[in-house]
Amino acid sequence: MKLAVFPSSIETSRALILRLVELMNEETDRIFNIAVSGGNTPALMFDLWANEYLDITPWNRMKIYWVDERCVPPEDSDSNYGMMRNLLLGIAPIPYENVFRIRGEAKPVKEAVRYSELVKQQLPYRLGWPEFDIVLLGAGDDGHTSSIFPGQENLLTSTSSYVVSIHPCNGQKRIAMTGYPILNARHVIFLITGKNKADVVEEICNSGDTGPAAYIAHHAQNVELFIDKGAASWYSSFLLSCSASHSRNLSRLMNLRLPMCITGTSALLNNAYDIERENPISCKSLADRISGVLFKSSLIL
């Protein structure tokens, strides 16, 4: 699991766009099957993408699917497809036939079956499951991802690629990608920003299988977390406490299953810090490096 922390949600979103373009530029002879999540977090990324990165993106080599969708029509303000269409897909030169929306207006059970079959037809298969190149995930502050909510962990091992789930608070039906196709993806990338997500980031970093997002993060093959300093606030405050008494905490730090950073060629990634698990550095140095980067940058902002 790799963690990239940035001073702001804008820089986090920009870095993620550059990372996605980088991945597609590493294999210029193929189409990328990309599944995106919805919710509020990716809206900023889609908007930045439409305004700043249209011309560096290989739109003709992308097929867009959804990780999950609310069971509402595309015009509904809750629609994940509608949000991405309005902010990005209606502007980007992506071939219409390469966008495979989940029909939120359809009967949920029938749509879950239809979309599972569509994905089966469109994607290569590996280990008996469709293999997405990239699955972009968010995480709710309750620890959910896709639309797999706490208490619905059985969906992590569903035998269908997409099922109907129900939001535990408002009862809204959702069509959700289940655990196996997510885990089967070549790259699983979380975009998580905001102080309200600090606890779920800590859960992802520290726990094993306590919630759907943590479970996916610990069981997928290639996982990257793109987070801002608000979502990393646990991280930096913990490490700053280290710098005060770093010897006592060093063993604690090294015993934590902290995801380590970072790869990426974009200049924006330089705003992140890189820590190599293979070369454990002193906790104080780690804290100084992290706090320096984080707070220096926030002073700039």
Residues near ligand 6PG, by CB under 6 A: 37-41, 67-68, 70, 80, 138-140, 145-147
Residue 1 in contact with residue 266, Cβ under 8 Å?
A: no
We find the least distance from the C-beta atom of residue 85 to ligand 6PG, in angstroms, to be: 15
Cβ neighbour number for residue 252 with a 10 Å cutoff = 12
Closer to ligand 6PG by CB, 33 or 80: give it: 80
We find the least distance from the C-beta atom of residue 67 to ligand 6PG, in angstroms, to be: 6
Distance between CA atoms of residues 230 and 92, nearest Å:
30
CA angle 29, 13, 94 (to 5 degrees): 40
Closer to ligand 6PG by CB, 32 or 190: give it: 190
The residue of the chain with the least Cβ separation from ligand 6PG equals: 138
We find the least distance from the C-beta atom of residue 269 to ligand 6PG, in angstroms, to be: 22
Closer to ligand 6PG by CB, 45 or 50: give it: 45
Closer to ligand 6PG by CB, 79 or 249: give it: 79
Beta bridge partners of 175: 69, 164
Half-sphere exposure of 240 (CA within 13 A, CB side): 11
We find the least distance from the C-beta atom of residue 177 to ligand 6PG, in angstroms, to be: 9
Helix or strand (DSSP H, E) at 163: strand 162-166
Closer to ligand 6PG by CB, 57 or 165: give it: 165
Cβ neighbour number for residue 297 with a 10 Å cutoff = 17
